[in-house]
Amino acid sequence: MNWEMVCERLNATDRWCASVDVAGVEYDSRRVGRGDVFVAMRGEATDGNRYIDAAVAQGAAAVVTDSREAYESLRRTHGGVGAALVERGRRALAEVSSAVMDHPERGLALSAVTGTNGKTTTAFLLETMLRSVGRTCVLIGTIETHVGNEVRVSQHTTPESRDILSLFADGVKAGATEAVMEMSSHALEQERVWGIPVDVAMFTNLTQDHLDYHGTMERYFAAKARLFEGVGAPPPRVAVVNLDDEYGGAIERAAAGCGEVWTYGLGNHFGWVPQFRAEDVVLGAGETSFDWKTPRGTVEMRSSLTGRVNVYNLLAASCAALARGLSLEQIAMAAEELVPVPGRFETVSNGLGITVVVDYAHTDDALRNLIALARELVGSGKVITLFGCGGDRDRTKRPRMGRAAGEGSDLVILTSDNPRSEEPMVIIEEALAGVRETGTTCIVEEDRAGAIEIAIRAARVGDIVLLAGKGHEKVQILKDGTVPFDDVAVAARVLKEIA
């Protein structure tokens, strides 16, 4: 594609249309190849404008920058390189990527899910339902990325627009017609999804998290609401909203510009009655059933997923599947075949008569729901909860997580969970304050492997051990770097040693 054609897509403050052809788009100078457009933009951690010379040295044919100083310098020193000055680098990245890749977003119907908890499970469930009727999908999320039948490693919950569009392009080549994405509040606020049209948007819930970035719950909510308003694209055709959540009504109002708003829930929370309801809910270990009441009829839903939280996840995914054209009967059949998502209430098998569960719960609300589910399943047994709090993240949720763990558990093991640049014991002390308020016995062990062993060895027949916080993660992020760590593997080793 000629650079001048690319410039036509940009709302550039100034531009130099050198007669060059462009082959690709990059925002990381280390990945630039000959003929690429390098988009230099100010980010949260660094400024891409510092790497323009490096990108040109690697063969960049053109540069888009959000810095007047960098633009003028580029024009003086690299006159043969195309140049464009823009106000918003991330928007330009999306627009240039779409043009150069020939608009792959137009070839897929995108369903996107946002919320504090449940995004990953809901996305996996919806993809499985779509695949059950023979549709080829792209899935982008926290645990992994799918392009048709190919599984790739996920680096971020929601990547930069260039990477999203590249995955979409690969999907279109593989015959995909559907895409399912988790959209984080960071990505929505930073406009990493600029210009990408969403057909079906889902809202799961909103509880305190990420205030280290957003500052207030109001700003956190506003970021989530952008999905339903459209981020550089028209509002979604269908909005699917959890009306049982206290923010559900506000999201419903934010979605007023959508073609349709579908509400779901268990019914009559906060004085609102959802259109798509789960009634006569029966919960058991590895078994969930309910009647799904919809404006199009009622169908019995059965699933091997466990717990009330998964009823909500099933409702969100089922509504989205219905919006994407599946019938009630097709959705019910798919629900029976669903399997648990890695790191989401994942049990570690053993012959000791105890239940060991690994779960990603890393907010006080998610931890409270996890413990409530464990209490339902364990009967007269004890609930032993191991958790930690992430470093360089919202400090105000640490005592809240401690209270949530202490209020529902018989024993709490407080440990480390990705301390990053902080001292682990400082984080632990802040969470411990919340546990102490409950009076529940708490054992502190900074080493997570050692803490897992303590938790499992404290269990007796009939007890349940919850290893919360890391879920599917395979590393521990420390001040000095990242080391391999897998809760499931450590728990399996301890269980084998005991056996």
pLDDT tens per residue across span 448-460: 999 999 999 999 9
Residue 212 pLDDT = 64
Same domain, 140 and 84: no
Q: Which two tokens stand for residue 334?
A: 């798919």
Residue 283 pLDDT = 87
Residue 46 pLDDT = 85
pLDDT tens per residue across span 208-249: 666 666 578 899 999 999 999 999 999 999 999 999 999 999
Residue 382 pLDDT = 97
pLDDT beyond 90 at 165: yes
Domain termination site, one of 36, 70, 100: 100
Same domain, 18 and 82: yes
Same domain, 190 and 321: yes
Same domain, 175 and 319: yes
pLDDT tens per residue across span 262-282: 999 998 677 788 999 999 999
| Alpha-carbon gap, residue 193 to 177, rounded angstroms | 19
SS (H, E, C) the chain: CEHHHHHHHCCCCEEECCCCECCEEECCHHHCCCCEEEEECECCCCEHHHHHHHHHHCCCCEEEECCHHHHHHHHHHCCCCEEEECCCHHHHHHHHHHHHCCCHHHHCEEEEEECCCCHHHHHHHHHHHHHHCCCCEEEECCCEEEECCEEEECCCCCCCHHHHHHHHHHHHHCCCCEEEEECCHHHHHHCCCCCCCCCEEEECCCCCCCHHHHCCHHHHHHHHHHHHHCCCCCCCCEEEEECCCCCHHHHHHHHHHCCEEEEEECCCECCECCCEEEEEEEEECCEEEEEEEECCEEEEEEECCCCHHHHHHHHHHHHHHHHCCCCHHHHHHHHHHCCCCCCCCEECCCCCCCEEEEECCCCHHHHHHHHHHHHHHHCCCCEEEEECCCCCCCCCHHHHHHHHHHHHCCEEEECCCCCCCCCHHHHHHHHHHHHHHHCCCEEECCCHHHHHHHHHHCCCCCCEEEEECCCCCCEEEECCEEEECCHHHHHHHHHHHHC
Same domain, 442 and 332: no
Same domain, 199 and 299: yes
Residue 18 pLDDT = 74
Main-chain dihedrals φ then ψ at residue 337, nearest 5 degrees:
-100, 0
Residue 15 pLDDT = 87
Domain termination site, one of 40, 75, 100: 100
Same domain, 176 and 263: yes
Residue 157 pLDDT = 75
pLDDT-based confidence at residue 196 (cuts at 50, 70, 90): very high
Same domain, 126 and 271: yes
The Cα angle at residue 387 between residues 385 and 390, in degrees rounded to 5: 165
CATH number for the domain that contains residue 355: 3.90.190.20
With a CB cutoff of 8 Å and minimum separation 6, the contacts of 449 are 485, 490
Percent of the chain at pLDDT exceeding 70:
98
Same domain, 181 and 256: yes
pLDDT beyond 70 at 314: yes
pLDDT tens per residue across span 465-491: 999 999 989 999 999 999 999 999 999
Q: Which two tokens stand for residue 261?
A: 């708003």
Range of the domain at 181: 104-337
Same domain, 163 and 79: no
How many domains is the chain partitioned into structurally?
Answer: 3
Supply the pTM of this predicted model.
0.86
Burial 403-415 (b: 16+ CB within 10 A, else e): bbbbbbbbbbbbb
pLDDT-based confidence at residue 111 (cuts at 50, 70, 90): very high
Average pLDDT of the chain to the nearest whole number:
93
Calculate the CA 251 to chain-centre distance.
Answer: 18
pLDDT-based confidence at residue 284 (cuts at 50, 70, 90): confident
Same domain, 277 and 393: no
CATH number for the domain that contains residue 77: 3.40.1390.10
Domain termination site, one of 70, 100, 130: 100
CATH number for the domain that contains residue 206: 3.40.1190.10
Same domain, 302 and 212: yes
Residue 121 pLDDT = 92
Residue 156 pLDDT = 79
pLDDT tens per residue across span 9-54: 887 889 887 788 899 999 999 999 999 999 999 887 789 999 999 9
pLDDT beyond 90 at 378: no
Residue 210 pLDDT = 61
